[in-house]
A and B are shown apart, each in its own frame.
Chain A
Amino acid sequence: MAKEPMIMSEMAKLSEALPEVAFQAPWQARAFAMAVALHERGAFTWQEWAEALASHIRLAQGQGDPDTGSTYYDHWLKALEKLVAEKSLAPVGMIEGYRRAWAHSASRTPHGRPIELSPADFHERDH
C-alpha cells in the first residue's frame, strides 16, 4: 500500500506534463468507435456496455492487472468482443476466420506497405 501514493502523484504529474491524446494507438480508436457505433445502432444498451466493461475490469484485476489506466482499452476490447458474442452479432467462426486472414495478410505484406485483406488470405496454405 505504501507504494500506491507515489503512483497516484506520478500519474497526476504525467497528466499535466504530457499532451493528452484521446487514443494511444489506432486500434484503441477503432475499438472505441465500434462500441459507440454499435450502441447507437441499438445492439446493446449503455447499461449492458457498462456492466460488460466493469466485469472485464474486475476480471483483469483478479488476474493481477495493476490496472493503472494503460490497459483500459484492453478491457474495452474484451467487453466489445463479449457483447458481440452475447448478442450473436456474428458467428464466432467468422471472427476467427477473419483474425487468421488479417494475420496472414500482415505476414505477406512488405514492411511499410498498407496491410489489406484479399480473398487469398482466407485460403492460406498451412506450412
Chain B
Amino acid sequence: MSDDHSHHHDHETSELDEVEVRVRALESVLTEKGYIDPEALDKIVELYETKIGPRNGAAVIAKAWSDDAYRAWLLEDGTAAIASLGYGGRQGEHMVVLENTPALHNMVVCTLCSCYPWPVLGLPPSWYKSKEYRARAVAEPRSVLREFGFELPAETRLRVWDSTSEMRYLVLPMRPAGTDGLSEKRLATLVTRDSMIGTGLPLPAGSAG
C-alpha cells in the first residue's frame, strides 16, 4: 500500500465526480440494507434507455386515428385503453387523453417537478424540465408554441394542463390531412413526441417515416 501512495500521481489514477461518489455510496448502502438490488436497477435503466419511448405513444395515436371505437375508449378511459396495447406501468396509472380539435389545442406541463407520462413517451426532454417551459407554458403558451415553430390560429382555443403527482396527460393530435388509407404503422411515423405533449404538430402526409 505504502508503495502506491509514495508514487501517487493524479493523472495516472481514476477519479469520481462528487455526484458519482454520492450515487455510488447511496447504491452501496441501499443494497446492503436490502432496499434495492443492483440487477433490478440495471433492468430499469435498460428499460428506459432502450425500450420505452415516444414510439409507444405514437402507436396509441395511430390506432385512435384508425379505429373510432378505440378512439372513444381512449378519450373515456385513457389508462385502460393505453394499457390494453401493453403500455401501462409506472407513471401511467392515471392517464387522461386530450383531444385536439380545430377549436381547441391542448398543451401539457408539470409546473412543479416535470412529471411526464413515461409509458407512452419515455423520459422527458431537457426543455420540458426547464424553469423556462414550466413557467412560460402557463404564462404565455402561444408564445411558447411560436418558438416551437407553429402559430396557433387565433380562433383555436388553447388549454394548458398541469400534471399533478397523480394525473398524466397525453395529447391526441389531429390526424393530418391526406392520410386516408394509411396503415397504423405508417400513421405512427407521422406522430412526433412534441405533438403528444402539445408543443408540436404531427408530420404532414408524405413525410418520410
A residues near B, CB below 8 A? 4-5, 7-9, 11-12, 14-15, 20-23, 26-27, 29-34, 36-38, 40-41, 43, 46-47, 49-51, 53-54, 57, 61, 66-70, 72, 74, 77, 80-81, 84, 89-90, 94-96, 98-99, 101-103, 106-113, 115, 117, 120, 127
Contacts and interface: CB of A to CB of B under 8 A. Distances in A.
B147 A36 contact: no
The 10 A-B residue pairs with the shortest CB-CB distance, nearest first, are A69-B126, A98-B25, A67-B131, A11-B127, A69-B130, A50-B165, A54-B112, A33-B44, A33-B41, A9-B147
Interface in B110-126: 112-115, 122-123, 125-126
Contacts of A8: 127, 132-133, 136, 144, 147
Interface string B93-122: 000000000000000000011110000001
A115 B26 contact: no
Contacts of B13: 106-111
Nearest to A90: B29
Given A54-B112, A115-B14, A38 B129 contact: no
Contacts of B21: 99, 102-103, 106
Nearest to B20: A27
A109 B14 contact: yes
Interface residues of B, number: 60
Given A32-B48, A47-B165, A50-B165, A81 B22 contact: yes
Interface stretch (B4-12, B60-68, B151-159, B175-183): B4-12
Contacts of B20: 26-27, 102
B1 interface: yes
A68 B133 CA distance: 9
Contact of A38 (B16, B30, B126, B136): B30
A73 to B, nearest CB: 8
